[in-house]
Chains A and B, each alone.
Chain A
Amino acid sequence: MSEITLSGLEKRYGDELAVEDVSVTIDDGELLCLLGPSGSGKSTTLRMLAGLETPTDGDIRIGDEDVTDRPAYERTTATVFQDWALFPNKTVLENVAFGLKMQGVGKEDRHDRAREMLERVRMAEYADDDPMNLSGGQKQRVALARSLAVNPDVLLLDEPLSNLDKRLSEDMQIELREIHAELEETFVHVTHDQDEAFTLADRIGIMADGTLVQVGEPNEVYQNPKNRFIEGFLGDTNFVEGTVERTTPDTVRVETELGRTVGLPTAAADATALEAGDAVTLSLRPEVLSVEPVSAASDDAESSGAVRADGSTTNAVVGTIENVLYRGSTVRYSVVVNGTTVFVERTVGDGSAFDAGDEIRIDWDGADLLAFRDDGSRVDL
C-alpha cells in the first residue's frame, strides 16, 4: 500500500510561508498533478514528499508509515528533477544503476536492471554514453529510468517536461501516461502547464499562494472551479464585472459593464441570497459564446434575459471587432462591447470570417455562465 496522506503540511522560510496547511490523500496508483503558477508552493510540497525539505508543521504518511522526519535516502520515493540532475561523472548506465548501487545490489544485477530500464524508455543504445552529450528529451528519459530503477512506491516528477519543446513535451506526456498505466504506481506530478495537467492527471490539485485550493478530477475542476483564481488559471475566459440589480426566486439579474443586464437562471439558495448592490464577476468562457453577423440578428436582441421556448435564456450583446488573431485552427476576435473588450473564438471554416471593424452579435445561454463574489468565491448557481 502506498497511499499518501498529507495533513496540515506547512513550510516556513523565516517569515515567509511557502506552503500553508496542505491536506490531501493521494490514492494508491493514482496520478495526481499539482498545478499552480510559479511560487505557489507546489515544488516545495513535492520536495517535502521526497524528504528533501523538512516541513515546519503537519505530517506525511506513505502507506501506514509516518515518514515526516525520515530523510530522503530512507524514503521509498524517487524524484525526476526539472533539470534532470544526471551525474556528469558517470555514464548513462551508471546513472540509472546508481540507486541500486546505494541499495547494495551487486554490479552485474544492477547493470542488468539498469539496461532493462533503459530499454523501457528506449535509451538502451546510449548506455555507455556521457549523459552530458544527450539532448534534453534523452536526458529526460534517462532521468526517468534512473528513478524507476529503484522501484519506488511513489514517483515524484518536478516539472520534468518544462525544459522540453512543445512537441517533445506532448510526446512525453503520452509516454508518462503509458508508463503510469503499466506500473500502477503512485505518481505525483508538479507542473504549471494546464494542458499537461489535464492530459496526465487522474486528479488535479490546484495550488495558489502556498495553499491547495481545490482537488478533483480534471473535468470536475474545470466545470466547477471553486473560485475566481482557478477559473482564470485553468483556461482563457472573459471576466465581466457587474452589480446585482435584483434577485427573484428563479433568476439573479446582474447589471454588467457590457451595458446590459444579464439574467442568471437559478434556484440555489446561495445565489438567491445575493442582495441588490452586491458586486459579482461573471465568467464568459469563449466556448459558451456564439457569434453571428449583426445583419442576421434576430429581433429578440433587446429582450435580454428572455426565456426561450427550450428554457434557456438569451443575453445577446452587439460589439465591434477590434482585433483578429489567427491561432492556427481557431481565430480569436477581440470585440469591444460598450467600452469593454471581450474575446470570442471561432473554429476556422466555421461560417463566414469577420474582419476588424465588423459589428457582430455575441450570444450565450445564461445557464452556462459562472459567477464569483467580490472575495473570489464562486456563487453556487
Chain B
Amino acid sequence: MHREAIENALFRAGYLAMLAFMLLPLVVVVVTSFEESGQLLFPPETYSLGHYRAFFAETRWLSAFDNSLLVGVGTTVVATTLGVTAAFGHELDDGRAGQLLAPLVLVPLLIPPIILGISMRVYFVRVGMDASYLSIILAHTLWATPLVYFVMRSVFSRFDWQLLDAARDLGAGPIQSFVYAVLPNVKHGIFVGALLAFIVSLQEFVMALFLSNHSTQTIPVVAWKALRQSLDPMVSVVSTFLILISVVGIVIATIATNIEWLSKQLS
C-alpha cells in the first residue's frame, strides 16, 4: 500500500470512530426505551414495548407532541417568510441599511436563551400574550429567522439575477417575477431553511420553559419536568420519537434537494 492510501485509511477510521463515539448516546437512548421495568437501565434486562403503550395512553405527552408540532409549524412559516424576504431584499438593495442587516439579524443568536426567555416573559406578560402559542412561536422565530436568512443569502448568491430582470422585462410584476423566475430556482434552499427552522423550534427548551404554561408546553419542557420527578424509560421513548422526526426530516430534505438525481436513478 502506498503511504497516501494508508494515511487516508487511518484518517477515515479515526473519523468513523469519533462519529460512532458521538452517536453512541443516541443508541443508548433508543435501546433504553425498550426496557420493561420502570428504571432507566443500560443494557435493559428485558425488552418490551410497554413504555410505548404507556406513552400513547398518556395525554400529557400526546398534547406536548401536538404543542411542539403547532409551535414548530408556526415558527417555520413565520421564520421562513421573514428570512427569505430579508435575504431577497438584501440582494436587491445592498445599500447601507443592507450592511447593517446581517450583524443585526445575528444578535438573537448571540444572547443567551435564558436572558431572552426571561425578558420575553416579562414583555409578553405586559402585552397580555403570556403563555400563548404565539409567544413561543415568536421566541423561536427570533432564533430561526437568522438561520433561514443566512441559508438564503448563500442560496441567492448563486442565483442568476438576470433571470429576474428577464421576467420583469417580459411583463412580470414584482410578485409574478418572484414566483415565476426566482422561486423555482431557490425552492430547495427555502426547503432546507424551513426544515432548519422547524428542527430548531422542536428542540428549543429554555425559552419554551419560560414562555409556556401547563397547556402549551412543548416536548422538551415536559421531558424536563418528567426527568425531575424520576428517571424512567418514558423519557427515552419521547427522545426516540424526537430523533425519529429529525432523521425523517433530514431524509425528506435529502430526497427533496436531490429530486433530479433521484429521478435519474429511478428512470
Contacts of B162 in A (CB 8 A): 81-83, 85
The answer on a CB contact under 8 Å between A102 and B169 is no
Q: A72-B165, A73-B177, A102-B176 are in contact. Are A146 and B185 (CB under 8 A)?
A: no
Q: How far is the CB of B93 from chain A (nearest CB, A)?
A: 12
The answer on a CB contact under 8 Å between B184 and A146 is no
Most buried by A among B170, B172, B180: B170
The answer on a CB contact under 8 Å between A73 and B160 is no
* A82–B171 CA distance with the chains assembled, in angstroms: 19
* A78–B168 CA distance with the chains assembled, in angstroms: 10
Most buried by A among B163, B169, B176, B184: B169
The answer on a CB contact under 8 Å between A150 and B171 is yes
The answer on a CB contact under 8 Å between B185 and A98 is no
Contacts of B184 in A (CB 8 A): 87, 89
Q: How far is the CB of A51 from chain B (nearest CB, A)?
A: 8
Contacts of A98 in B (CB 8 A): 167, 170, 172, 180
Contacts of A73 in B (CB 8 A): 168-173, 176-177
Q: How far is the CB of A202 from chain B (nearest CB, A)?
A: 23
The answer on a CB contact under 8 Å between B166 and A79 is yes
B181 at the interface (CB under 8 A from A): yes
Q: How far is the CB of A92 from chain B (nearest CB, A)?
A: 14
Contacts of A79 in B (CB 8 A): 165-166, 169
Contacts of B173 in A (CB 8 A): 73
* A76–B172 CA distance with the chains assembled, in angstroms: 12
The answer on a CB contact under 8 Å between B170 and A85 is no
Which A residues between 146 and 176 are near B, CB-CB below 8 angstroms? 146-147, 150
The answer on a CB contact under 8 Å between B169 and A78 is yes
Per-residue B-contact encoding for A55-81, CB less than 8 Å = 1, 0 else = 000000000000000011110011101
Q: How far is the CB of A313 from chain B (nearest CB, A)?
A: 55
Q: A52-B165, A79-B169 are in contact. Are A88 and B176 (CB under 8 A)?
A: no
The answer on a CB contact under 8 Å between B163 and A72 is no
The answer on a CB contact under 8 Å between A102 and B170 is yes
Contacts of A88 in B (CB 8 A): 163, 185
Number of residues of chain A lying within 8 A (CB) of chain B? 25
A103 at the interface (CB under 8 A from B): yes
Which A residues between 26 and 56 are near B, CB-CB below 8 angstroms? 50-52
Partner of B169, one of A72, A82, A86, A103: A72
* A78–B170 CA distance with the chains assembled, in angstroms: 6
Q: How far is the CB of A90 from chain B (nearest CB, A)?
A: 8
**Chain B, residue nearest A14 (CB):** B95
The answer on a CB contact under 8 Å between A85 and B165 is yes
The answer on a CB contact under 8 Å between A87 and B171 is no
**Chain A, residue nearest B187 (CB):** A89
Contacts of B171 in A (CB 8 A): 73-74, 99, 102-103, 150
Partner of A52, one of B163, B169, B185: B169
* A299–B172 CA distance with the chains assembled, in angstroms: 74
Q: How far is the CB of A45 from chain B (nearest CB, A)?
A: 15
* A87–B181 CA distance with the chains assembled, in angstroms: 7
* A50–B170 CA distance with the chains assembled, in angstroms: 10
Partner of A87, one of B166, B168, B169, B176: B166
Q: How far is the CB of A286 from chain B (nearest CB, A)?
A: 40
**Chain B, residue nearest A76 (CB):** B171
* A102–B169 CA distance with the chains assembled, in angstroms: 11
Q: A88-B185, A89-B185, A102-B176 are in contact. Are A150 and B170 (CB under 8 A)?
A: yes
Which B residues between 93 and 148 are near A, CB-CB below 8 angstroms? none
Q: How far is the CB of A121 from chain B (nearest CB, A)?
A: 16
Most buried by A among B167, B168, B172, B180: B168
Q: How far is the CB of A71 from chain B (nearest CB, A)?
A: 7
Q: A83-B162, A85-B163, A88-B185 are in contact. Are A72 and B180 (CB under 8 A)?
A: no
Q: Return 19 A-B CB contacts under 8 Å, by A number.
A: A52-B168, A71-B168, A72-B169, A73-B176, A73-B177, A74-B171, A79-B166, A82-B162, A85-B163, A85-B166, A86-B166, A87-B180, A87-B181, A87-B184, A88-B185, A89-B185, A102-B172, A147-B170, A150-B171
B interface list, Cβ under 8 A from A: 160, 162-163, 165-173, 176-177, 180-181, 184-185
A interface list, Cβ under 8 A from B: 50-52, 71-74, 77-79, 81-83, 85-89, 98-99, 102-103, 146-147, 150
Further 16 A-B residue pairs, CB within 8 A, beyond A50-B169, A85-B166, A103-B171: A51-B168, A52-B169, A72-B169, A73-B172, A73-B173, A73-B177, A77-B169, A79-B169, A82-B162, A85-B163, A86-B166, A87-B166, A98-B167, A102-B167, A102-B171, A146-B170
Pairs of residues from A and B, 5 with the lowest C-beta to C-beta distance, nearest first:
A99-B170, A102-B171, A89-B184, A85-B166, A85-B162
